[in-house]
Structure 1
């Protein structure tokens, strides 16, 4: 009895974690790896579902199935955060028009494009920074050290060509 419950619980965690990884691979454009992962995903899913259906006489099997699913979502998101695959574009807007923030960030290995913009109360320095997701926290931390009041927005670009990243292995 306890063995069935544990099996259902852990199979669901495995299923949703693998499902999350497959989704990440698809979103990052790695269709071949996503296809390979999907085979294992469906296999794990069917094992779990078959076990629950065979043991429908106990309502708690279904509850454990659902709880395992929820924990799998959490586990998958933790793994995704650790992998931090891909890139982010970080836009920084600062009041310091004569700031040396672009050069300071370049000194830390970030590619920076900057220009003057206009905000509600005057000119602003706008910076566009492309970096690997693994360095996003470092970048935001550096920006906040330079200007604690800077406005920071990040997004994930799907594609980019040329520029600072051409031939770089950062």
Structure 2
């Protein structure tokens, strides 16, 4: 089967796509601090790499094999980044500036489970409401839609934080309670303490 030129090109292309895809995912996992998962992925990555490279080196006189290897490499980078976008690992910090400080911006976003820090600021045209919002990447697009619904003219900047520590919101994420509907606490029955009746003729201080 390997003697067929078209089959060889297809095999080299597929192998390199898989190899580079795993390599891209492994690198992203390493940057995200998922070192153990990255190490597990790297074991498959290196096996596929050796097999693919061996096929090319054994047939260096076939230019189509080199072309397939190069195209597969580029395709693998694209596929790897697409997979990482779907996985949506890590968190995003979103800075929002609203030109209407009277909007109930902070309350509405907090009700959805996002961590928000807000403060009053001043821009070229007057008062502003500034907010810093922390969200898992998988909820990023949902957050943008919510912001645009509240204030279509809001100014938005997002970036990826390298380290997150402390705060009530981080604890909620680790417990898996983010974005879950909050249940109302049922108040427990407490013994009623009756206050002594004060007659109409009683005065303060009298027993």
Shift, 1:36, TM fit: 2.3
Selected match of 1:135 from 126, 132, 139: 139
Aligned: 1:54 with 2:54: no
What is the alpha-carbon root mean square deviation over aligned residues? Answer: 1.2
**Structure with max Cα Rg:** 2
Tell me which moved more, 30-39 or 150-159.
30-39
User: Matches of residues 128-167 of structure 1 in structure 2 within 5 Å?
Assistant: 128-167=132-171
Shift, 1:121, TM fit: 2.1
d(CA) in 2 for partners of 1:12, 1:88: 31
Aligned: 1:76 with 2:80: yes
- Of structures 1 and 2, the one with the larger relative CO (CA 8 A, separation 6+) is 1
Aligned to 1:32: 36
Structure 2: which 5+ runs fail to align? 179-207
Report the secondary structure of 2:171's partner residue: coil
TM-score by length of 2: 0.78
Residues 64-89 of structure 1 show CA distances to partners (whole Å, capped at 9, x for unaligned) of 11111111111111100000011111
Report the secondary structure of 1:52's partner residue: helix
d(CA) in 2 for partners of 1:33, 1:79: 15
Tell me which moved more, 80-89 or 104-113.
104-113
d(CA) in 2 for partners of 1:138, 1:48: 41
Structure 1: which 5+ runs fail to align? none
Quick check: which one's helix share is greater? 1
d(CA) in 2 for partners of 1:128, 1:57: 58
Selected match of 1:41 from 32, 40, 45: 45
Shift, 1:162, TM fit: 2.0
d(CA) in 1 for partners of 2:141, 2:148: 11
Report the secondary structure of 1:32's partner residue: helix
Selected match of 1:113 from 103, 117, 125: 117
Shift, 1:123, TM fit: 1.9
Aligned to 1:5: 9
Pairs aligned (count): 170
TM-score by length of 1: 0.95
